């Protein structure tokens, strides 16, 4: 018996919308990462991008459990000596709320060229509207 490997041209990609309002950040991120990688499909192959496109709306209303709003720290480095900047989750939510969701999802994807290719299929919006109605996205609900 031979193993069937899907061809890149034969992969059908769907569009999914995840509403993050009052959902826990980690649960939204893990569901989105699974869809981006294609692990929900029977043709999943670890070395191919078989995933779908994901749209996350209402990123500003995502929920953090415990005291993460004050204690969680987002770090980035400019590349220069002493260039580390740290920001709390509350300040990140106020300045650019979609960054919280983007970084959580990106952290769950592979750290390779393939992971970067998967990450490009993600769109995150702070509010409830998105400009992707033409792609006929399917609304997803997260199980509680």
Q: Residue 118: which domain range?
A: 13-64+91-140
Please indicate, yes or no, if residue 79 is contained in any of the structural domains.
Answer: no
Please indicate, yes or no, if residue 99 is contained in any of the structural domains.
Answer: yes
Tally of domains in the chain: 1
Average pLDDT over residues 54-67: 97
Q: Report the CATH number at residue 29.
A: 3.90.1180.10
Average pLDDT over residues 41-54: 94
Please indicate, yes or no, if residue 69 is contained in any of the structural domains.
Answer: no
* Closest C-alpha among 132, 144, 108, 143 to residue 54: 132
- Contact yes or no for 16/54 (Cβ under 8 A): yes
Q: For position 144, what pLDDT does the model report?
A: 66
Q: Which helix (H) or strand (E) holds 115?
A: helix 113-119
Please indicate, yes or no, if residue 82 is contained in any of the structural domains.
Answer: no
Please indicate, yes or no, if residue 74 is contained in any of the structural domains.
Answer: no
The whole model's pTM is what? 0.92
Q: For position 54, what pLDDT does the model report?
A: 98
């Amino acid at each position: 018996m031979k193993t069937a490997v899907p061809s890149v041209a034969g992969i059908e990609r769907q569009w999914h919308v995840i509403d993050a309002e009052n959902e826990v950040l980690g649960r939204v991120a893990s569901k989105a990462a699974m869809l981006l990688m294609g692990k929900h499909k029977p043709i999943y192959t670890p070395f191919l991008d078989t995933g779908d496109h994901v749209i996350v709306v209402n990123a500003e209303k995502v929920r953090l459990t415990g005291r993460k709003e004050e204690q969680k720290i987002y770090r980035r480095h400019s590349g220069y000596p002493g260039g580390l900047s740290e920001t709390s989750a509350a300040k990140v939510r106020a300045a650019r709320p979609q960054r919280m969701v983007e970084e959580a999802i990106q952290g769950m994807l592979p750290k390779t060229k393939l992971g970067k290719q998967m990450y490009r299929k993600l769109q995150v919006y702070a509010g409830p509207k998105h400009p992707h109605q033409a792609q006929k996205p399917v609304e997803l609900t997260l199980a509680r």
